[in-house]
Amino acid sequence: MNLRKHRLLVITLVIMIGISLTGCTGKKTGEDTSYKSGTYTTEAEGYGGVIKVETTFTDGKIDKINILENSETVGIGSVAIEQLPKEIVQYQSLGVDVVSGATRTSNAIIEAVSKAVEKAGGDVQALKDVPVVKEEGNDVIKETEVVVIGGGGAGLAAAVAAADNGAKVILVEKTAALGGNTVRAGGPYNAVDPARQEDVDPADENSMQKARDLTNVEPKNDRHAELMQELKDDIEAYENGTKDYLFDSLALHKLQTYDGGDYVGKLEFIEELVEKSLPTSQWMAENGVQWTDEITTVPGGLWPRAHLPFNAAGYDYIKASEDTARDLGVEILLNSKATELIVEDGNVVGIKGESDGKNMEIRAKVVIIATGGFAANIEMRQKYDPSLTENLPTTNSPSIVGDGITMAEKVGANLIGMEYIQSLPLGNPVDGTLNGWIGGAGVEYYYQVNKEGKRFMAEDGRRDTMTASLLAQPDALSYVISSANNDVDINETGINIWGDDVEKLVEDGVVFRADTIEELAAQIGIDPQVLRETHDTFNSYVAAGKDDDFGRTLFGEQLDEAPFYASPRVPTVHHTMGGIEIDLDNHVLDANGNRIPGLLAAGEVTGGIHGSNRLGGNALVDIHVFGKKAGEEAARMVNE
């Protein structure tokens, strides 16, 4: 080493030691920060409610931070709860980065600790200015057999399937936690399941007529004609039997999905999704998902075939898949963002990016893209659908911005159906997410009214038509009206299917609750007489099994048991049906329909499956059926 390089190294080390000491002592350069030793309890408002924090100061530093109470969402806010206190103590700084996707939880923790710093006589601004300097490390350079980009439901399913079939797997996730959009889902999973559906009440005549109507359309192709005949045969066999259980069939699920997407979806993919849905759910159970025997109808699902995991939430899938993946030896790298696919001689042979601020390069025989769609990317969604203005919120994680689609397009992947973007009429008015309401267990348990207290649509319809109906209402605002009959949504501890504490929702004015419909109307500023008339009319339709106003056919019990609930809801961008074109073996295709060697994709990052509109409850089937297939195909390619 020459003298000049030696001097530069010494100077660099001195600077780094100085910064390190600043971080360890909680001092801003040129300014002392001291604390009065002791333990201080403070609180701040998080995403799910108040976060109560206990901060201990000892010997002039932050010694310990404990989170005493919180109601943050498991798998989202809980990541910040776990991570941030450790980092604040480690770096003696309030300038730590917020956890992506859990901004409100992160800021609440920082705010609560800031209050404790003030109580201890410290300088909050000085602590915020202390730089967070993480340890220097080597670049992440690895080799494996399969690398999966994205740690949501599809990516984890692919990683589990590949590892279970003997492949060495690395999964990279750009955020601080696994989950993607799956962890934000309510958990409904569609599957034709005779064993569970035999305990469900038969469909009414109007619903059966809707099923028959699917057999009387102009066939789009020969296979469509065959499916219509299959459904006719299924209905005839059912009607010649006891008819004392819910009718369903694979042909009905296929035709509802095909018709529900305006016959734009690829029929062979729809058939694969439907036929593999039940077997894949059984595979998921083998890997730790606990299913209830409950069957319901998710909004936009069109038929009672939605299964729910034990906690009725998407986190159940992520936790089970993560545990299984780790048990199978999958290496999981968090805070690791892939930015580029490595292509050599026309083959995709790995990825480049960064991991914890360091360069990352992972070479692999097969790359699987499972990064989700692009509903959180305002610019990208407006490119394909200008009507989705920037003021529309989204249910998606902030990280779902289409980066996997962009990477694939750069290496020649064909994109299809990008203009098909689905919104929901059931978004949280605060941020567009799906939590914070009562009724989410199934469309059977609620109806919706506008600000005047009147119904304005069939709540069991397609998601696109329901959203269009809501957009036409005053302020595009509705209230979901539900009641204590909805015993599926609220468990014995008072938690709804989104993990919200119902008492807290009511206390904070997120959800309204009353013992009579008239009292409920008064709380939300609706004429009590109008809402009473709407309510009684709806219950009469439940009793008759027929909606004379809007044609709704899916009903549960009459909503006649107090207390009654009203949940404000707005339109929110939910799902992107378009994306990377793949074949039935999950291989990414180029514009000429040829496979791009070494590159697979699965989940919402792909296009062509759902058509112009996705049925509710089909997304979790999509990501697990095709995620599993991608992993199995990757392992097969490796073994060859």
Measured between alpha carbons, how far is 253 from 425 in angstroms, rounded to an integer?
23
Q: What is the pLDDT of residues 452-476, one digit of tens each?
A: 999 999 999 999 999 999 999 999 9
Closest CA to 211 of 250, 242, 241, 245: 250
- Higher pLDDT, residue 389 or 215: 215
Q: What pLDDT sits at residue 4?
A: 37
- Annotation marks residue 305 as catalytic: no
Residue 362: pLDDT over 70: yes
Share of the chain above pLDDT 90, in %: 77
- Going by the DSSP 8-state scheme, the letter that residue 184 receives in this structure is G
560-to-402, 517, 532, 540, 569 alpha-carbon distances in Å: 45, 9, 12, 11, 22
pLDDT in tens, 404-419: 999 999 999 999 999 9
Q: Say which amino acid occupies 216.
A: N
Q: Which residues pair with 41 in a beta bridge?
A: 54
The structure tokens 């601080």 sit at 176
Question: Which residues partner with 55 through β-bridges?
Answer: 40, 65
CA distances from 116 to 33, 42, 44, 55, 434 (A): 14, 6, 11, 6, 33
Tens digit of pLDDT for each residue in 130-169? 988 877 778 999 999 999 999 999 999 999 999 999 999 9
Cβ atoms 486, 441 nearer than 8 A = yes
pTM above 0.85, yes or no: yes
Per-residue pLDDT of 220-255, as tens digits, reads: 999 999 999 999 999 999 999 999 999 999 999 999
Which pLDDT tens digit goes with each residue over 272-305? 999 999 999 999 999 999 999 999 998 889 999 9
Mutual angle of helices 619-639 and 267-286, in 10-degree steps: 80
pLDDT at 22: 35
What is the pLDDT at residue 33?
63
Helix (DSSP H) and strand (DSSP E) numbers for the chain: 18, 23
| Number of CB atoms found within 10 A of residue 561's CB | 12
Q: Are 464 and 616 in contact (CB under 8 A)?
A: no
- The confidence score (pLDDT) of residue 77 equals 87
Residue count of the chain: 640
Confidence band of 492 (pLDDT split at 50, 70, 90): confident
pLDDT for 480 equals 96
pLDDT tens across 60-87, in order?
A: 899 999 999 998 888 888 889 999 999 9
Displacement of CA 269 from its chain's centroid (Å): 22
State the catalytic residue, choosing from 104, 184, 196, 463. 463
Q: What is the pLDDT of residue 259?
A: 97
Angle between helices 222-239 and 250-260 (to 10 degrees): 130
* pLDDT tens, position by position, 170-181: 999 999 999 999
CA distance 104 to 341: 33
pLDDT by residue (tens digit) across 383-405?
999 999 888 999 999 999 999 99
360 has pLDDT over 50: yes
For 533-591, how does the pLDDT look when each residue is reduced to its tens digit (9 = 90+)? Answer: 999 999 999 999 899 999 999 898 999 999 999 999 999 999 999 999 999 999 999 99
Q: What is the mean pLDDT of residues 364-393?
A: 95
Average pLDDT along the chain: 91
d(CA 519, CA 505) in angstroms, rounded, equals: 18
DSSP-derived 3-state class of residue 212:
helix
Q: Which two tokens stand for residue 514?
A: 């009353």
Please report the pLDDT score of residue 435 as a whole number.
86
* CA neighbor of 71 nearest in space, from 84, 62, 81: 81
CA-wise closest residue to 590 among 343, 385, 355: 343
pLDDT, tens digit, for every residue of 184-196? 888 899 999 999 9
CA 104 to chain centre: 17
pLDDT at position 282 is 98
Q: Given phi > 0 = left and psi -120 to 50 = alpha, else beta, which region is 2?
A: beta
Query: What integer is the mean pLDDT of 356-385?
Result: 96
50 Cβ contact partners less than 8 Å away, ≥ 6 residues apart: 43, 44, 69, 70, 71
